[in-house]
Structure 1
Amino acid sequence: MFAAMADCTPEELLIGGPLWTRQAVVELVRLVVGVDMTEQGVGLWLRGHGFTPQRPARRAYEQQSAVVRAWLDEEYPAIGTRTKAEDAAIAWVDRCGLRSDAVPPGRSWAPKGRTPIVRVTGKRPRVNVMSAVASRGALWFTVFTGRFTAAVFTAFLDRVARQAGRKVHVVADRHPVHRGKAVRSWLEDNADRVELHLMPGYSPELNPDELLNADLEHNVNASRARTVDRLAHGTRRFLRRRQRQPHVVRDYERLRHHHEAMVRWSIVRVTSRRLTRPR
């Protein structure tokens, strides 16, 4: 029963939706052992066997498992080997946007039936952040308010290479700007300083810089910023603090390896189910 919960969803077992709720487990127990349990009893029983309620990670339907597995098993190890041979650095790059109305202000205690009110601006200020993290704890970033273009991206790559002081192997997603003609031309002219490697499509969980984005969105209270300048100032202030905390930045890389292990496990699980599924 526990193996079924770990390897399948209620939807796959035709007893519910995509999530293992206590109600779905009640139905599973009734079908497997013929015992009717209460939802409260199921919750205590699951905790006693090492199960906890968790926010599920998201995976895009468009993600190609075979491509991701090949990248993890072949392409990324090859990047690491070249990096060591060239005494270069690996930097994981990503872009994110912060908008004052995109993140709720959190929760506040209040009398029952009286919803608390937080004053926010109706102007919706927004800033963009381009950042790069390295396994040794280095963090580079730029905060800008305009569009994300090839000029912005190449200027950021140039800064990363200058501040790193050696060649940098940059790992990024397959954003159209990253694959554009202007960026390819710049990379050809700067091949001795920067080399760009694109991750498989629809696989943000492989990038530790995504954890920095989540950290940023959680700790910068964008909803309280009344102007673009204030939002940009708060964003830069937080990122500069993280630059002085390389142990936190290194944790992004450590957690990426955890994500990578989970991705490998999920790929193997899906593949094995396909191979063993009766035709």
Structure 2
Amino acid sequence: MTHGANRLFTKQMDVAYDDRLIVSDLNLSIPPGKITALVGSNGSGKSTILKAMARIIKPRGGTVYLDGKSIHEQATKDVAKQLAILPQNPTAPEGLTVSELISYGRFPHQKGFGSLGSEDRDVIHWAIEVTGMSEFADRPVDKLSGGQRQRAWIAMALAQKTEYLFLDEPTTFLDMAHQLEILKLLQKLNAEEERTIVMVVHDLNHAARYAHHMVAIQHGKVMSEGTPEQVVTQEVLRKVFGIEADILADPRTGVPLCLPFELCATSEGIGS
């Protein structure tokens, strides 16, 4: 993909943990105004790529560009006004209420150690409303169910009022109803707020249904990217996940549905 209008992209990015290179020479562009899903087997490097693009990890080589400038050379507050990230399994301090947690999202917009202004309070109220958390606003985060807690964290990320929202496996450990709830919320935010959403997704069918753009990762490299129809193919599933699968059209949306039935004889996707 050419960078063109893509304002967030990596150029020859390498990411390593100690001496182990996880991502090598990665050139990846995030299409603006769309939902992008990063998919791949466990250990493929997708969460590492997400963290490096969101400035949580510093690449060993290459660069992440946001609006023509290296993201790692920009001031933390400046980046936090443009990009919010929800890591996997975040934890809140004991006793912190939902509205207190959400107020943390306003930090990048505050001057010095200023208290919350009326605009901050309006945004916090909006984030509580849009995530359906009004009845839980005064409840401690650690007393919520998994789905409620995840919505509270998403509300905090939304309160940052950023154009880019990064999420690392936002539906992990949630039951089916809460998974749908979170994915539909993200879909709504993308459609109504025009947020650019980038998420690591474990479930291929969720990725195909809710993302406009998919990127299949293996060994820290892009094996395939494009629309769900271009990425969810038998060939890509063999190569990236090491599975044989039937691909059907979703009767509601027409997007591809993956039904795995067998491991490949040479299943490279396992344990990669």
TM-score normalised according to structure 2 size: 0.27
Higher helix share: 1
TM-score normalised according to structure 1 size: 0.26
